[in-house]
Amino acid sequence: MSVQNWEIRARRAKDVLLNSVPKQWILPAHRLPPAHQKNVEDFPRKSGVLSDREVSITEMSATALVAGMRAGLLSAEEVVIAFLKRAVLGHQLLNFATEFMAERAIARARELDEHFKRTGKLVGPLHGVPISVKEHIAIKGRTCNAGFVAWVDDIANEDALLVQYLEKAGAVFHVRTNQPQSLMHLCCDNNLTGPTTNPYNRTLTPGGSSGGEGASMGFKCAALGVGTDIGGSVRAPAGFCGAYGFRPTTLRLPGTGIKVPGAGQEAIRGTAGPLASQSVEDLDLFQRAILDQEPWEIETSLVPIPWRRVKATKAMTVGIMWDDGCVRPHPPVTRALQHAKEKLLAAGIKVVDWEPYRHDHGWEIVVRPSPLNPALHPSLASPQLTTPPEKSNLYFPDAANSQRTVLSQSGEPLLPLTEWAFAYSRASPLTIPENWALNYKRDVYRDEYHALMKSRGVDFILCPVYVGAAAVMGESQYWNYTAIWNILDYPGVVFPSGLVVDPALDPLDGGYRPRSEVDAREWVKYRPERYEGAPIGLQLVGKHFKDEETLAAAGLVSDIVQGRAEDIKPRL
Amino acid sequence: MSVQNWEIRARRAKDVLLNSVPKQWILPAHRLPPAHQKNVEDFPRKSGVLSDREVSITEMSATALVAGMRAGLLSAEEVVIAFLKRAVLGHQLLNFATEFMAERAIARARELDEHFKRTGKLVGPLHGVPISVKEHIAIKGRTCNAGFVAWVDDIANEDALLVQYLEKAGAVFHVRTNQPQSLMHLCCDNNLTGPTTNPYNRTLTPGGSSGGEGASMGFKCAALGVGTDIGGSVRAPAGFCGAYGFRPTTLRLPGTGIKVPGAGQEAIRGTAGPLASQSVEDLDLFQRAILDQEPWEIETSLVPIPWRRVKATKAMTVGIMWDDGCVRPHPPVTRALQHAKEKLLAAGIKVVDWEPYRHDHGWEIVVRPSPLNPALHPSLASPQLTTPPEKSNLYFPDAANSQRTVLSQSGEPLLPLTEWAFAYSRASPLTIPENWALNYKRDVYRDEYHALMKSRGVDFILCPVYVGAAAVMGESQYWNYTAIWNILDYPGVVFPSGLVVDPALDPLDGGYRPRSEVDAREWVKYRPERYEGAPIGLQLVGKHFKDEETLAAAGLVSDIVQGRAEDIKPRL
């Protein structure tokens, strides 16, 4: 096989990565778990690389780490070294990093320690917290390729605005993380540094597009992470990897310096969002640390709403959405919802069923539904779906030409899930009036959904993160358990239910008759053994701009569902 | 001349209007001022139609009217009858109405009076305040044509959301007002009910596109009015007619039920905004009355920022923009700015010069600059302007096809200022990526402008409303003294300086050498006698989303400039 030009360019991304891995903490291959071992999540304890104290540090929440540093019990330097060690192990097992920044991180940690020694004060609410960052969020002086080979030599002129604010708040950046080609997979593979895998089951994807972040959180390579989300790209990775993730309402977190093709697209906005390895509380800490700095004073398109301090109470109504009316969740997901329902009821929370409101309609605002192949599933073919509405395209108003252009600049081949995503676009770009008509349809749908939540008295919707607990590598085809909330622009929090896929508890339900080809396609993927050990995440969604309330509620709900509600939570 | 089909349709709008004018208050032609009398603003006092008490009522602020009703000194019925009488006179002189709603208004006023008698309470903050409404803001069961002949038979299914909120707050709607064809003139003429004129000088336009509202306010046919503004359409009419007007930051006031071609256009958003005949305080009252009802709970694209109560203090810095760097204001405008500067300095307000930041660049984001005709002005032709940037089009991303389509549906001829506006569009629609690139450029410009205001320490910019005190009918060609703030999405308040154009004080400045053909085109329009008697408005602009602060500051600044600062303001 001859080496193509694009491969030569792509190798530069690998070189950046390989040169950056701190050699002193690399474990020889024979000391790593065997390649066939699926679950590697608990390897750090056994690796011999981390001391017990270091293992403990890496399993603390950001909130607890900061408290520990404030109390003088921890130094920022030992914290970042612990996380760096764990991140190197994680990378060896999961290929989640695109670049380590060990020297920078350690130097920064020492600065923080010196500051604390000198003043007795922390520099900010994230003092000394190691944070991993998705690669397309620019770091000054470093490559920013966004998963495209063509952009491998693009060096950022300055830190993304979000990175600047995090740094001012005291964060330490030690590792940058992987993303899929085109940024439009719920998986995580590209032609630069290759696929990232899931720490709980290495035949599964960590999710995407912030898949490197999912792996980073699942393996606890950082206390907090930063991803981006336009269709589930923060929440799927959090859910697949047993972690916490938050997609805020758009226009709250700054986007300046986050590299994507087609900047200026506003019909469906993407947003950055935090991931956390330990708690919902850490997601709130992240939001607070940014928004207390008033980012709208620099990025003026942001909405100037300060981050409000909200306390959750049990006086709320949670609607459980068991199924989106289109694609049935796999049995483990339904079991986790059932488990959550029982726990919430037992805790005295009002729980009702949430009947989804036209999620197919919402979905068809953003994508062209895949044409059915009636030959394959004659019994399932529905006449509506065989004639996809040609005007639906808000995920790809330009027919993905901005992405295709960047791909063609290097000549790199399209990965199957890139082809899959682009197939959601119709062949030709929208015209301006078509785009306007869809914007209008989107707004009407948003108003209707909101009115329905109010009239039903539902404050939050508890729902699946994805069809399954996770996806097998390359199989993440159905986005609408997360994307629907992007279409509606609702804040959503993902948290682990505490349950994992268990073939004994999650047998195949042979009796289910899928409602459509898409439903069938997803249903046939389920066999319990394929997902064994995968943590089952849940998603709590709140109303537009009710970010603070949604996070507060998710903190309470996750504690209840995980059975920690009555525990005294450890606070260092 | 044969009657065309479009004329037959257009006549239906005239019929609606003529049938709606309350006959009992129509004055015979011989009792009206002669057609050649330019200034008719003070005619109500002399007309014999209104009693002295009625004249006084119509010259009260909305705030004072509500206070009077709360004190039991005024009834809603007598108030609306006074304004109806004045509005009928105004319409006879200025042709500003598209439809009277006398019966509805009087019935509503009686309801309010009964409510007050029964409960001793007002129904809301606008109890009994007569409000005129621009025609394209829907009123249930009535035509909503938005100035297009093709839409003359479109009957609204429900009140615009804004109208619903105003009505809940106690408003009384007695008259609907005129707008120009296409809604994209700063004048006010159409093929339906014809041109509206300016009460201070009937050879001048009342401005546009909310020109009927300008006339309504200038003649005091209502205490408050509702217009819409995407390039100056609230502010120009307020300025030309000696009234008050406010363009809020977009996404604060609801837009549902406001009819325009091309719904879903979001690159440069239009917004509704109030006009007031008496005070800035009334503009704040309007905003408060709406936003206290949380309109974002229905129209979810609105930003959920409650209306804040803000008090202005003299501790602010006002930057005066004497010239936008492109088109020189006429001498009366410069005189009013000079007058304002002296008054502000005397009042102890910090005043600096505001050097405009690339207003030509801002303008070129939204329109294709008119190609120069070097044959006409060889000495002025600049090479840049003769090759207009083909990609600039955010006012007409679809090349005005949505408007052209509606126009062609009736076959009505395009008015010259419609042709003028459409000439600001390039010939072909933007592509989606071109639109995105302009959105991006717009956001960068907004961020830069904001950073500059902050770094210069300027809180508010005091500037012209328009090149001149007003425009001669059909001559309002230069929009960028108002449009620039739409491009930047800054709130702007217009108020009367208290001065009027005076040939003795505002002679022609023969020595000025225009910088461009556009500058020359506007400069040659000035001869003092053409604008005699026109009130000179000023515009105070604040930062994005600083609506409350901008209104509060404008209240203080207008009091100072008008010499009312030290007076005890009458409060009923």
A80-133, pLDDT tens digit by residue?
999 999 999 999 999 999 999 999 999 999 999 999 999 999 999 999 999 999
A452 touches chain B (CB under 8 A): no
Q: Are A558 and A280 in contact (CB under 8 A)?
A: yes
Range with the poorest average pLDDT among A366-370, A383-387, A397-401: A383-387
Average pLDDT (B560-565) is: 91
CA-based nearest residue in chain A for residue B452: A298
Name the one residue in this structure whose structure tokens are 């009312």: B564
Q: What is the structure's pLDDT at A48?
A: 95
Joined together, the tokens standing for residue B7 give: 């004329």
Chain A nearest-CA distance from B11, in A, is: 31
For residue B514, what are its two tokens? 């225009």
Q: Which residues contact B19 (CB under 8 A, 6 or more apart)?
A: none
φ and ψ at residue A440, rounded to 5 degrees: -65, -45
A440/chain B closest Cα distance in angstroms: 5
**DSSP classification of residue B22:** -
For residue B410, whether the previous peptide bond is cis, meaning omega lies within 30 degrees of 0, is: no
Extract the tokens encoding B261: 């071609």
pLDDT of B133 strictly over 80: yes
For the segment B159-218, what is each residue's pLDDT rounded down to a tens digit?
999 999 999 999 999 999 999 999 999 999 999 999 999 999 999 999 999 999 999 999
Is the separation of the CB atoms in A132 and A212 below 8 Å? Answer: yes
For A303-361, the DSSP string reads -----------S--EEEE-S--SSSPPPHHHHHHHHHHHHHHHHTT-EEEE-----HHH
The strand pair at B460-464 and B317-320 is best described as parallel
Q: What is the mean pLDDT of residues B232-260?
A: 98
- Is B299's CB within 8 Å of A402's CB? no
Question: Are A466 and A239 spatial neighbours (Cβ–Cβ below 8 Å)?
Answer: yes
What burial letters (b/e) apply to A179-189, b meaning 16+ CB within 10 Å? bbbbbbbbbbb
Average pLDDT score over residue span A212-224: 98
Per-residue model confidence (pLDDT) at position A375 = 45
User: In this structure, are strands A244-247 and A492-500 parallel, antiparallel, or unpaired?
Assistant: antiparallel
* pLDDT score recorded for residue B572: 43
Q: What pLDDT, in 10s, does the model give residues A252-283? A: 999 999 999 999 999 999 999 999 999 999 99
Looking at the DSSP assignment, which residues form a beta bridge with residue B244? B276
Query: Are the C-beta atoms of B445 and B362 separated by less than 8 Å?
Result: yes
Cβ atoms B481, B232 nearer than 8 A: yes
* Residue at B493: amino acid letter: V
pTM for this entry: 0.95
With a cut of 50, say whether residue B374 has pLDDT above it: no
- Find, among A207, A182, A329, the residue nearest to A270 by Cα: A182
Determine whether the interchain pair B430/A429 forms a contact, defined as Cβ–Cβ distance below 8 Å.
Answer: no
Position B307 scores a pLDDT of: 98
Does position B88 have pLDDT exceeding 80, yes or no? yes
Find out whether B505 is annotated in a ligand binding site: no
Chain A (257-286) residues lying within 8 Å, Cβ to Cβ, of chain B: 262-267
Candidates B259, B303, B404, B432, partner chain A, best to mutate (most A CBs within 10 A): B432
**What angle do the packed helices B432-456 and A432-456 form, to 10 degrees?**
70
- Kindly tell me if the per-residue pLDDT of B376 is higher than 60: no
Residue A299 near chain B (CB below 8 Å): yes
Predicted pLDDT at A390:
57
User: Is residue B2 among the annotated active site residues?
Assistant: no
Predicted pLDDT of residue A564: 85
Distance CA B132, CA A425 (A): 46
Distance (Å, whole) CA A6 – CA B457: 50
Residue-level pLDDT at A4: 79
**pLDDT-derived band of residue B516, with 50, 70 and 90 as boundaries?**
very high
Measured between alpha carbons, how far is B186 from B236 in angstroms, rounded to an integer? 7
| Complex ipTM | 0.94
Residues A398-428 pLDDT 10s:
999 999 999 999 999 999 999 999 999 988 9
A109–chain B Cβ distance below 8 A for any pair? no
Mean pLDDT for A318-331 is 98
* Mean pLDDT, range B494-501, rounded to an integer: 98
Residues of B in Cβ contact (< 8 Å) with A436? 262-266, 398, 402
A interface test, pick of B157, B265, B300, B442 with most A CB neighbours within 10 Å:
B300
A545, B296: Cβ pair inside 8 Å? yes
> Would you say residue A572 has pLDDT above 50?
no
Evaluate whether A339 touches A538 at the Cβ level (below 8 Å). Answer: no
Q: Which of A353, A327, A562 is nearest to A456 (CA)?
A: A353
Q: d(Cα A488, Cα A480) in Å, to the nearest integer? A: 11
Residue A516 CA: distances (Å) to CA of A332, A392, B118? 21, 19, 61
* CB contact (8 A) between residue A298 and residue B263: no
Distance CA A405, CA A413 (A): 12
The band of A476, judged by pLDDT with boundaries at 50, 70 and 90, is very high
Pick among A404, A432, A544 to test the B interface (most B CBs inside 10 A): A432
Question: β-strand B350-353 against B317-320: which pairing, if any?
Answer: parallel
User: CA-based angle A433:A437:A442, to the nearest 5?
Assistant: 145
**In degrees, to the nearest 5, what angle opens at C-alpha A522 toward C-alphas A517 and A525?**
125
| pLDDT on residue A392 | 67
Indicate if B408 belongs to the active site: no
CB proximity A391 to B under 8 Å: no
Looking at the annotation, which residues of A are catalytic? 134, 209, 233
How does DSSP classify residue A183? G
Q: Are B224 and B193 in contact (CB under 8 A)?
A: no
pLDDT at B1: 52
Task: Please check the confidence at residue B384 and state whether its pLDDT lies above 80.
Answer: no
Evaluate if residue B392 carries a pLDDT over 60.
yes
At residue A413's C-alpha, the angle toward residues A407 and A416, to 5°, is 105
Report whether B230 belongs to an annotated binding site. Answer: yes
A232 is in an annotated binding site: yes
Question: CA–CA separation, A248 vs A244, rounded Å?
Answer: 13
Q: Is B444 on the interface with A (CB under 8 A)?
A: no
Compare all CA atoms of chain B with the CA of A403 and give the residue at the minimum distance.
B433
Residue among A393, A431, A451 nearest B256 (CA): A451
CA distance A239 to A471: 11
- From A263, A439, A545, residue closest to B440, measured CB to CB: A263
Residue A160: which of A256, A77, A282 has the closest Cα? Answer: A256
Q: Is the pLDDT of residue B467 over 70?
A: yes
**B566 has a pLDDT exceeding 70:** no
Phi, psi dihedrals of residue A569, rounded to the nearest 5°: -70, 135
Grade residue B4 by pLDDT with cuts at 50, 70 and 90.
Answer: confident
pLDDT in tens, A348-368: 999 999 999 999 999 999 997
Q: Write the residue in B398, B437, B544 that is nearest to A433 by C-beta.
A: B398
Pair B432, B439: CB distance under 8 Å: no
> Does position A378 have pLDDT exceeding 70, yes or no?
no
Q: What is the mean pLDDT of chain B?
A: 94
**Closest by Cα among B337, B33, B67, B62 to B197:** B33
Confirm or deny that B132 is annotated as ligand binding: no
Average predicted confidence (pLDDT) for chain A = 94
Q: How much of chain B, in percent, has pLDDT values that exceed 70?
A: 94
Each residue of B55-87: pLDDT tens digit? 999 999 999 999 999 999 999 999 999 999 999
Contact flag A450-B264 (C-beta cutoff 8 Å)? no
